[in-house]
Amino acid sequence: MARKQSSALVFCLLLGVVVLIGYGSLYPFDFRFDGSQPTLMAAFSQLSWARAGRADRVRNVLLYLPLGFCLMLLLRVKLGAFWASMVATLLGMILSLAIELSQVYLSMRVPSLMDVMLNTSGTWVGAIAGVIWRGLSGLVYMSPNSRSRPGDRSALVLVCTWMLWRLAEFEPGVTLSRLKLALWPLMEGSYSLALTCKFLLLWLVVAQAVLSFANRHRSNEALLTVIAVVMIGRLLFIVSPFNFSELLALLLLLPVLVILHKFNGKPQALMLMLGFFAWFIYQRIFPFQFTTNANHFDWWPFVNWLEQGMPINPDQLLSKLFLFGALIWLLKETGLSIRTAMIVVVLMIFGLEVLQLWIKDQTGSITDAVLALVMGTVMRLASNERKIRSIRFKHA
């Protein structure tokens, strides 16, 4: 049953990928069948070896990577890694050829056999990535008793907050120009080491939360689903382009998870907690320009919002809620209760706000401490930590 459910998740992802490929390749669907166009058999002669620009070549490869990845995950169980990669590549080539033939009937498209080759190459690379994903995900340690344990609902709150944050700038409507804008950073390939480390740390927390909530036999597919929803959602419905540093972080995510899971139990949670806390404190007091005179401190929560007419920025609000929730959840994973973890985080954030009084061009406010208290309260209300602890005690 678990395998069928996992296959259903991957199949849904595959359908989404196929729809994305079709939309990106055939938009705006202005087909012409007025008799001046060749028949379907004659359309083959219209395929040329025209070479597109560098950006289009890279885009043709990247567009079919998820297709090969999903096909590999679906076919590997029945066909094995080698034959699954071959069949996935063949299916990618057939889909690409069908789309290129359809483009013969589009006035604004240039059907090309070179595109078929690039799409097929992208499918094959995606299939190889699927083999690597399956192999590495099998090395991520999961407790043998995790299937019988209830999912950590506080972790689910954290994951949902992450997804809401990453899709906070949602704008309906998909256009080809938006797709090209979103993928443009991939053409440049520029990245920031600091941003890559930041996104890797954030995704590590999300991955751990997913693994803590999901069923043991569905955890990897659940993580894959969260990644796909966030990345495809940002590709289609967010105006700002992709961040190449985040994509690099996602490539590193599974290998780092494998290394992290070599440390079972509390050492693993402690390492991630220390890393996340160090990064959080660092970015709060950077660039370390302290002054001798204290700045203003707001003792009333949300006073700045009230004075400015409540201009709520969903992206900023949700980012803070996620970060504060992550701090609380990571402390809980080290063995503290959510209540104790919430108190520690609220006091730490309040202390950092006080410290910011002596940082140049910074002010302090009780607002963030209140937001941490709100997030902790929601996580505590949703949590089933007593039930989880009792089951862990029985298995100990």
The DSSP call for residue 150 is: P
Domain final residue pick, 79, 103, 137:
137
Domain final residue pick, 71, 103, 137:
137
pLDDT given at position 90: 94
Give the count of domains, the chain.
2
Domain final residue pick, 102, 137, 172:
137
Cα–Cα distance list, 51 to 44, 64, 117, 139, 297 (Å): 17, 18, 11, 42, 61
Quote the domain boundaries for residue 102: 1-137
Please check whether residue 231 lies inside any domain of the structure. Answer: no
Please check whether residue 229 lies inside any domain of the structure. Answer: no
Cα separation, 382 vs 52, in Å, equals 53
Please check whether residue 38 lies inside any domain of the structure. Answer: yes
The encoded tokens of residue 166 equal: 């990453």
Please check whether residue 240 lies inside any domain of the structure. Answer: no
Cα separation, 56 vs 137, in Å, equals 32
Please check whether residue 144 lies inside any domain of the structure. Answer: no
pLDDT given at position 80: 85
pLDDT given at position 1: 43
pLDDT given at position 292: 77
Model's pTM, two decimal places?
Answer: 0.77
pLDDT along the chain (396 residues), means of 10: 59 82 73 61 66 68 85 86 91 89 72 84 91 76 49 90 88 63 64 88 93 73 83 74 81 86 78 93 83 78 66 83 96 92 95 86 85 94 67 47
